[in-house]
Chain A
Amino acid sequence: MLEKEKLQKIRKSEDNWEKETVQEALAKFKERQEAFSYKSDDFLLDRIYTPLALRNLDYERDIGFPGEYPFTRGVQPTMYRGKLWTMRQYAGFGTAEESNRRYKYLLEKGQTGLSVAFDLPTQIGYDSDDPFAEGEVGRVGVAIDSLADMEVLFKDIPLDKVSTSMTINAPAAILLAMYIVMAEKQGVRIEQLRGTIQNDILKEYAARGTYIFPPKPSMRLITNIFEYCSRNMPKWNSISVSGYHIREAGATAVQELAFTIANGIAYVEAAIKAGMDVDDFAGRISFFFNAHNDLLEEVAKFRAARKIWAKIMRERFEAKNPRSWKLRFHTQTAGSTLTAQQPDNNIVRVTIQTLAAVFGGTQSLHTNSRDEALALPSEESARLALRTQQIVAYESGITEIVDPLAGSYYIERLTLEIEERVNAYIKKIDAMGGAVRAIENGYIQKEIADSAYTYQKEIEAGKRIVVGVNKFQEEEETTMEGLLRVDPAVGEEQVKRLLKLKESRDNVAVQNKLADLRKAAQGEENLMPYILEAVRLYATEGEICNVLREVFGKYRPVEIL
Chain B
Amino acid sequence: MSENRIRVLVAKPGLDGHDRGAKVIARALRDAGMEVIYTGLRQTPEQIVAAAIQEDVDVVAMSLLSGAHNHLFPRVVELLKKKNAEDVLVIGGGIIPEEDIPYLKEKGISEIFTPGTYTGSVVEYIRNNIKRKL
Knowing A134-B71, A453-B24 are in contact, say whether A559-B40 is a contact too (CB < 8 A): yes
How does the 8 Å CB contact mask read for B99-128 relative to A, with 1 for contact and 0 for none?
Answer: 000000000000000111011100000000
Contact A460 B119 (CB under 8 A): yes
- A433 at interface, CB cutoff 8 A: no
How does the 8 Å CB contact mask read for A535-561 relative to B, with 1 for contact and 0 for none?
Answer: 000000000000000000000010101
Contact B119 A373 (CB under 8 A): no
How does the 8 Å CB contact mask read for A428-461 relative to B, with 1 for contact and 0 for none?
Answer: 0000000000000000000001001100100010
Chain A interface residue count, Cβ-Cβ cutoff 8 angstroms: 42
Cβ contacts under 8 Å, A209 to chain B: 16-19, 41-42
Of B1-9, B25-33, B52-60, B84-92, which binds chain A? B25-33
- A374 at interface, CB cutoff 8 A: yes
Knowing A139-B66, A139-B67, A340-B114 are in contact, say whether A557-B40 is a contact too (CB < 8 A): yes
Within 8 A of A (CB), among B36-75: 36, 38, 40-42, 44, 66-68, 70-72
Cβ contacts under 8 Å, A486 to chain B: 67
Q: Which residue of A lies closest to B71 (CB)?
A: A135
Contact A557 B41 (CB under 8 A): yes
Q: Which residue of B lies closest to A209 (CB)?
A: B17
- A297 at interface, CB cutoff 8 A: no
Knowing A248-B20, A250-B20, A479-B98 are in contact, say whether A561-B26 is a contact too (CB < 8 A): yes
Assembled-state Cα–Cα distance A433/B95 (Å): 37
Within 8 A of B (CB), among A136-169: 136, 139-140
Knowing A120-B16, A452-B23 are in contact, say whether A561-B66 is a contact too (CB < 8 A): no
Cβ contacts under 8 Å, A300 to chain B: none
Within 8 A of B (CB), among A112-130: 120-121, 123-124, 126
Contact A339 B115 (CB under 8 A): yes
Contact B116 A340 (CB under 8 A): yes
- A341 at interface, CB cutoff 8 A: yes
Assembled-state Cα–Cα distance A363/B29 (Å): 42
Cβ contacts under 8 Å, A479 to chain B: 98
Assembled-state Cα–Cα distance A139/B72 (Å): 13
Which of B41, B67, B98, B115 has the largest number of chain A CB atoms within 10 A? B67
| A74 → B minimal CB distance (Å) | 32
Assembled-state Cα–Cα distance A209/B63 (Å): 14
Contact B68 A336 (CB under 8 A): no
- A99 at interface, CB cutoff 8 A: no
- A483 at interface, CB cutoff 8 A: yes
| B24 → A minimal CB distance (Å) | 5
Q: Which residue of B lies closest to A491 (CB)?
A: B71
Assembled-state Cα–Cα distance A422/B17 (Å): 26
| A40 → B minimal CB distance (Å) | 15
Knowing A136-B14, A375-B95, A453-B24 are in contact, say whether A559-B66 is a contact too (CB < 8 A): no
How does the 8 Å CB contact mask read for A329-342 relative to B, with 1 for contact and 0 for none?
Answer: 00000001001110
Knowing A136-B68, A140-B67, A208-B17 are in contact, say whether A374-B95 is a contact too (CB < 8 A): yes
Assembled-state Cα–Cα distance A135/B70 (Å): 8
Contact A124 B15 (CB under 8 A): yes
| A498 → B minimal CB distance (Å) | 18
Assembled-state Cα–Cα distance A184/B127 (Å): 61
Contact B68 A561 (CB under 8 A): no
Assembled-state Cα–Cα distance A68/B28 (Å): 48
| A292 → B minimal CB distance (Å) | 14
Cβ contacts under 8 Å, B70 to chain A: 135, 488
Contact A559 B119 (CB under 8 A): no
Assembled-state Cα–Cα distance A133/B28 (Å): 31
- A210 at interface, CB cutoff 8 A: yes
Cβ contacts under 8 Å, B118 to chain A: 460
Contact A136 B24 (CB under 8 A): no
Assembled-state Cα–Cα distance A136/B45 (Å): 14
- A344 at interface, CB cutoff 8 A: no
Assembled-state Cα–Cα distance A230/B38 (Å): 42
Q: Which residue of A lies closest to B30 (CB)?
A: A561
How does the 8 Å CB contact mask read for A462-492 relative to B, with 1 for contact and 0 for none?
Answer: 0000100100000000010001011010000
Assembled-state Cα–Cα distance A266/B115 (Å): 35
- A204 at interface, CB cutoff 8 A: yes
Contact A483 B97 (CB under 8 A): yes
Assembled-state Cα–Cα distance A535/B50 (Å): 38
Assembled-state Cα–Cα distance A483/B17 (Å): 23
Cβ contacts under 8 Å, A375 to chain B: 67, 95, 97
Q: Which residue of B lies closest to A469 (CB)?
A: B116
> Which one of A121, A124, A453 contacts B27 once the chains associate, using CB atoms below 8 Å?
A453
Cβ contacts under 8 Å, A559 to chain B: 38, 40
Cβ contacts under 8 Å, B44 to chain A: 132
Cβ contacts under 8 Å, B26 to chain A: 561
| A11 → B minimal CB distance (Å) | 44
Assembled-state Cα–Cα distance A124/B115 (Å): 26
Contact A120 B95 (CB under 8 A): no
Cβ contacts under 8 Å, B16 to chain A: 120, 140, 209
Assembled-state Cα–Cα distance A466/B117 (Å): 12
> Which one of A204, A250, A340, A488 contacts B115 once the chains associate, using CB atoms below 8 Å?
A340
Cβ contacts under 8 Å, A123 to chain B: 15
Cβ contacts under 8 Å, B28 to chain A: 453, 456
- A295 at interface, CB cutoff 8 A: no
- A190 at interface, CB cutoff 8 A: no
- A249 at interface, CB cutoff 8 A: yes
Assembled-state Cα–Cα distance A336/B70 (Å): 23
Assembled-state Cα–Cα distance A250/B18 (Å): 11
4 further A-B pairs in the complex, CB-CB below 8 A; given A248-B20, A375-B67, A557-B40:
A121-B15, A340-B115, A485-B97, A561-B30
13 contacts between A and B (CB under 8 A): A132-B15, A132-B42, A136-B15, A139-B67, A208-B17, A250-B24, A340-B114, A373-B115, A374-B95, A375-B67, A375-B97, A486-B67, A561-B27
Could you tell me which B residues sit within 8 Å of A by CB distance? 14-20, 23-24, 26-28, 30, 36, 38, 40-42, 44, 66-68, 70-72, 95, 97-98, 114-116, 118-120
The 3 closest A-B pairs by CB, nearest first: A209-B17, A135-B71, A120-B15
Could you tell me which A residues sit within 8 Å of B by CB distance? 120-121, 123-124, 126, 132-136, 139-140, 204, 208-210, 248-250, 336, 339-341, 373-376, 449, 452-453, 456, 460, 466, 469, 479, 483, 485-486, 488, 557, 559, 561
